[in-house]
Structure 1
């Protein structure tokens, strides 16, 4: 039987789910209307908190999926914050794309997985 742990669960989703030694985080967004830099930093701060609740940290990241509302204008600013945050030597496999996000004020959404 597989043991599943859900963190910060609500009626629609959990902010993180742990199964088979992997923490799967839900997509994280920052406050609407902030700059790409502000939103990205807020997202990474939220990810740090959720990883800690799961019993892991950013040194154990496996994958990162990043969605930018506008790659042409947002990619470089998002990357500047991301690059400063990722632990040296611990960069995850990552993919980045452009997407229409849930709310027009969201500029970035980040989803990660991490080993425990």
Structure 2
């Protein structure tokens, strides 16, 4: 039987809905979409535009990975959600690409959405190989 572990991490960003921060199923870790909120700041968004928000989402994802046994560089798939796709796509991509080693980009889907929780501009979720 496939081993499943659910992670509710006290040091991770505050959850904006009822979910686990991450779920491990066998050798795969599914990380819930993270928002650009400040650690310990409740539902407070990081100040700044899409670049600052993307950097904060990545930092929050790395915090969840650290607490659940995953590694950023082992990300195999990501989904990115943007509320202002045409305006923010290029700037988000620049921050995203710089966060991985050369040649280390995961597969990815990026979609435009009408809104995100807490008024965020960006949300990203991951699938990570353990």
TM-score, normalised on structure 2?
Answer: 0.80
Q: 3-state DSSP class of the match of 1:24?
A: strand
1:67 aligns with 2:81: yes
Q: 3-state DSSP class of the match of 2:2?
A: coil
Structure 1 unaligned runs (5+)? Answer: none
Runs (4+) of structure 1 exceeding 4 A deviation are none
| Number of residue pairs aligned between Structure 1 and Structure 2 | 116
Residue from 79, 82, 87 that aligns with 2:96: 82
In structure 2, the residue matched to 1:30 is: 36
- How many Å separate the matches in 1 of 2:66 and 2:117? 27
Q: 3-state DSSP class of the match of 1:14?
A: coil
- How many Å separate the matches in 2 of 1:104 and 1:77? 21
- How many Å separate the matches in 1 of 2:71 and 2:112? 26
1:51 aligns with 2:65: yes
TM-score, normalised on structure 1?
Answer: 0.89
The question of whether the paired residues in 1 share the 8 Å contact of 2:116 and 2:122 is answered with no
In structure 1, the residue matched to 2:22 is: 16
Q: 3-state DSSP class of the match of 2:54?
A: helix
Structure 2 unaligned runs (5+)? Answer: 10-14, 38-44
What is the root-mean-square deviation of aligned Cα atoms in Å? 1.9
